[in-house]
Structure formats: structure tokens, C-alpha cells
Chain A
Amino acid sequence: MKTMRPAPDLSKPRLTTSAMIASIASEGQRTAPAPFGHALVELARQRADVIGMTADLGKYTDLHIFAKEFPDRHYQMGMAEQLLFGAASGLAAEGFMPFATTYAVFASRRAYDFIHQTIAEEDRNVKIACALPGLTSGYGPSHQAAEDLALFRAMPNMTVIDPCDAHEIAQVVPAIAAHQGPVYMRLLRGQVPLVLDEYDYKFELGKARLLRDGRDVLMISSGLMTMRALEAAAALSDDRVHVAVLHVPTIKPLDTETILREAGRSGRLVVVAENHTVIGGLGEAVAGLLMRSGVHVPFRQIGLPDAFLDAGALPTLHDRYGLSRSEVVRQVKEWLG
């Protein structure tokens, strides 16, 4: 018999699950609209081989902006992710560069074999851009891609990118176009936070970048957790805890040189923070690297538990699973004693 959840306490106030297309930006945060869609339009103006494809999620991956601008270069494949990626392989075989979009859950879990065999194994020049990475939906496990990075990291030939914000997404698009070969890119869509533009930041494929330095803690992070790491670092500095933040947007291939150099600076607690299950993502990639390289440092992970995550409101869930700014601060303080 299945175990049911207890009925809720109706007397308590509660947040509601946000709509699928809601922004992950916090209130008052600077944002930019649809950075992926606009960057792809810009790229397509320069490169005639760029094609946009989706499986009934154009509006939800910001591809609709491209579709409106270049209707004859856009293919709607219907709600059929296996077809989407197989057809993307076929278009790539004919010399085109498809950007194929869907949700991260569907690319990683439903169409994995198609991506593995028709794109990665054949080394086709397909760019896979997926919205709702990690825990960015309150809809429950059907829409929460907690394991996408682990799955695509394990796939030979695949380059894996987890950008932080709108500034970075706009730069990732031309950068992966300049790279010949399959790429999996996580996508934040809609009103996307702007963070890295204040750090004189430029995305380079395969490069990690130290965004701030600090002598007590080295936070290694990717995706939206870099935003949280920076916020937490600012909060912790008020308590005289000095946190360095190393942003690692390219999960594979990993920038081993920069990670080893920063982690090898003695005396710091190393914390890897990722919007992903603690299994198989950036945390374990860094841990394995450090172990193999003989760098023995205090090491902790901030990430999603090995569990089917709850449905609910994102702020609630990010608190519950340790991804919110306040939870990052709390965990770091706890580890420092």
C-alpha cells in the first residue's frame, strides 16, 4: 500500500506553487527577458546554419522569440522528444546547427538513448538547451531535473554547461556555436536574473572563474547556485567570514587547473554548491578530481538530496533543500563551527 502524505494544517499560511513560466528571480532583482531567445536570434543573423527546434515547448524555452524572427528556420516537432533529437541529428548530418529545446527532464530522462546514440556517439553538432534545470519548478519530480548533469556528464563527447544568469546565457549561445560538437546547456528562461554583469564577467567554454576571493571558505558553484553563493558570501562577510566564490559554468570538460589551484590554497573549507542532486554532479566531479590529485581539504556539498523532491512553492523548496541564500549561510556557519 502506498504511503500517503498527511493532510495539511489548513490554519497555517502557505505559499502557492508558482506557474511553470514563473521567474526564479527574487523580488526587486535586476533581470533580463529571454536571454537565450534573443541571443539565438543574434546568432542566427550571423550564421545561416542555425536552426531552432522544439518539442511543444517553444514558449517555455524562449525559443518562440527565434521562431517569430525566423519562422522558416524553426521546426515544431510536436510533443515527441525522441523524434526531436533524432531529427536534430539528421539536420546536423546535413550541415545545419540545430538548437533543440525542451525541459531538462525530458531531454535527460526520456530521450537519453536518442541523444546518446544519434547525437553524442555520432558526434553531431547539436546544441541541446533545456529549461527547468535542477529544482526550478514546484511541480514535483515530473518537472524537476535533479539528475540531468549527472546523466549528461556520463555521456562521452558531450559538453555540459550550467550558466548562472542572463548575462552568461547570452554569452554561452555564441560560445557553444563556435564549438564543433554536441552540447547540453541548462537554460533559465523568462525574466532571468542579472548578476555576473557586475563582475566584468565573460564566459569562456571550459573555464572556471574566481568571482570573489576569501580566506575562510572556497565556494565552488555553477548555475543559479553561483548567484546564491555570491549572496551568501556577502551576508557572511558581515559576520567576518570570508568566502571565495569560484564559478564553474562548464561542468564538462571541467577546468581542473583552476579548481586544483584554488582548492589547493591551504586553510579553506571547500564547499561545492549546485542546483542538482549531490550524486554525480559538480560536487562529485570536484571531489573525484581533488582525491585523484592528492588535494586533501575539508569538503562539503550543498545540493539536492537523493530523493524525489516535494511539490510546492520554489522559495519553500529552496529553503527545505538547502539552496536558498539563508540556508547556504546557515550551512556554511554550521560547518565552520
Chain B
Amino acid sequence: MDTATTLRVNAPTLAQRAYNIRRNAIRMGEVQGQGYIAQALDISDVLAVAYFHAMRYRPEDPDWEERDRFLLSNGHYAIALYAALIEAGIIPEAELETYGSDDSRLPMSGMASYTPGMEMSGGSLGLGLSIAVGMGLGLKRKNSSSRVYTLFSDGELDEGSVWEAISSASHYRLDNLIAIVDVNNQQADGPSRQVMGFEPLVARLEAFGWFVQRVDGNDLDAVVAAFDTARTHEAPKPRMIVADTLMGKGVPFLEQREKNHFIRVEPHEWQLALAALDAGRP
């Protein structure tokens, strides 16, 4: 049964879920005093839709065979995924304060063996789509109705391996694969389009045989519609959601900060960030 169908009438809205994910992420950032918080804020809406609208899973059984798989290729986004997994009840909220600490199950870069609900060890960028292809093939072999979701970043489009996987997903008609690329236009050395141009991305992906939708990744309604269409589209093609997002989304002073891959947040600013987020609480 889809998670969405089990939601009670008084269940939190997606906007509230996204707010909670952002809040969890900021609290983890404060614990560590640093982190990829701007990315976590930009992707929270996508994760809210993935975990509270689209995906099938059981919080009490993260390895449930019938679950949809979620592969975090950009391992440094772990802070965002942990925030979502806490909101989903897969990780206890109490562990939030261990983020990035010794012996924590929540390391700075996501690893499969550390965290319930983490399906791969990312961080070395460009791995996720290849694993997703194998999982997609495996699920088809098992006649499973589960889907493979994978999130990766626009910077990963620089990696040749990503395009190897893009070719093969199309070759094998993996219609059970839904990839989301976070286009926040920021990678380690600067704006992604300046580091290595990747546009026109939709046309390129379509030319590789994918069904592609491009949406404002911070517009919840648009993201919901994109996930719905990706799940119901009938063409035997892998599906890509190109999500244009805003770094620091939801915390105005971080949205406006000069964009950095590893954004600097002063110790006193974490509370300011929470306050700013709370000011826009849905």
C-alpha cells in the first residue's frame, strides 16, 4: 500500500514535512558547526515529496523487500536525507545530535553500512546511477513493482560514468528507474554551468532516450505533479526529474548569501537560521 494512501486526514501537509526536514537539517548543522546545509535546504521539498507522497516503505522495516529504493548518489547530501529519514521515523530523532560525531550512525558523507534507510555509500560522485541501473535490472528480474529512485547533483553530470549509466538505463528500458538531478548550479569550484556546461539538459537527456520533466524543485505542487507523472508515464523509458532548486531555500539570509558549495555559517547563525525558518512555518 502506498504511504500516501495511508495518510490520515490530519497528517502533516507536505509543506509541513518539508519544514520539518529543513528544521532537522539545521539542527544537525548546528551540532557539527558546519555542513552542506544550503544543499539540504534546497532539496527538502523534493525529499518531502519522495518520502511523504511518492515512495512505498515501512519505517519500522527499512529493508522491506517491497519498498521503493532510494539511492543517494551525492553522499554529502546525507544531512538532508537523515533529516528526511528522521521525519519518516526510520531514524530516531534523538540521534540527530550525533550527526558527524564519533560512533554516530549519521556520518558526514552517507554510507550504506552506517544508517538505516541509506541504500548506498555515496560521496565518490557519479556512482549512484550505475547502482540504480543494476537495482532496476534486478527488480525487473524479480518481477517486483518496486521502483528505484536516485538523487544526484548537477555537478555529477561532469562524470562520464553518469552518462554510461544514462545510456544503459535507456538501453534496458528501465521504466522502474526515477532519477532526480538537483540543479542548484553550485559545485565545489563554482557555479556548475561555469565549471562544465551541461545545458540544454532536457534535450540532452531526451536524446539519450529518457522521459524528462523539468520543474522548480522548490514548488511542492510542481514536484508532486512531476513525481506523479514519472510514476504513471507509460513509455518504457527511464524517468528523469530535473529539479531547479535554490541553495539555502527557506532561510532568506542563506538564500542571499554568496553561493558556496560548503556554505559558511557562524555559530550564532544556526539559531538565526532556525528563527528565520520558523518565521515561514507552514
Contacts and interface: CB of A to CB of B under 8 A. Distances in A.
B161 A83 contact: yes
Interface string B111-128: 111000001110110110
Contacts of B136: 90
Q: Which of B111, B136, B168 has most A Cβ within 10 Å? A: B168
Given A122-B120, A122-B121, A89 B113 contact: no
A89 B131 contact: yes
Interface residues of A, number: 26
B269 interface: no
Q: Which of A94, A95, A123 has most B Cβ within 10 Å? A: A94
Interface in A73-100: 75, 77-78, 80, 82-83, 85-96, 98
B138 A96 contact: yes
A67 to B, nearest CB: 15
Interface in A55-87: 75, 77-78, 80, 82-83, 85-87
A117 B71 CA distance: 14
Contacts, number: 96
A87 B168 contact: yes
A213 interface: no
B135 interface: yes
Contact of A90 (B113, B135, B160, B161): B135
A118 interface: yes
A123 B113 contact: yes
Nearest to A72: B141
Given A86-B127, A96-B141, A122-B112, A91 B164 contact: no
Contacts of A114: 127, 130, 161
A86 B120 CA distance: 11
The binding surface of chain A is classed by DSSP as helix
Contacts of A85: 130
A116 B229 CA distance: 36
Contact of A94 (B120, B121, B135): B135
B130 A117 contact: no
A82 B131 CA distance: 10
A72 B20 CA distance: 46
B98 interface: no
A322 to B, nearest CB: 38
Given A114-B161, A123-B113, A89 B134 contact: yes
A78 B172 CA distance: 12
Q: Which of A82, A83, A118, A123 has most B Cβ within 10 Å? A: A83
A91 B113 contact: no
Nearest to A82: B161
B165 A86 contact: yes
Contacts of A75: 137, 172
Given A94-B138, A122-B121, A83 B111 contact: no
A90 to B, nearest CB: 2
A204 interface: no
B84 interface: no
A86 to B, nearest CB: 2
Nearest to B146: A94
A86 B161 contact: yes
Interface in B181-220: none
B116 to A, nearest CB: 15
23 contacts: A78-B167, A83-B161, A83-B165, A83-B168, A86-B131, A86-B133, A86-B161, A86-B165, A90-B131, A90-B132, A90-B134, A91-B135, A91-B137, A92-B134, A94-B134, A94-B139, A94-B142, A95-B138, A114-B130, A117-B121, A118-B121, A122-B113, A122-B121
Given A80-B161, A83-B133, A118-B127, 19 more contacts: A77-B168, A78-B167, A78-B168, A85-B130, A86-B129, A86-B161, A87-B137, A89-B131, A90-B130, A90-B132, A90-B136, A93-B119, A93-B131, A94-B134, A94-B141, A114-B127, A118-B130, A118-B131, A122-B112
The 10 closest A-B pairs by CB, nearest first: A90-B134, A86-B130, A94-B138, A87-B134, A90-B135, A80-B164, A83-B164, A82-B161, A90-B131, A91-B134
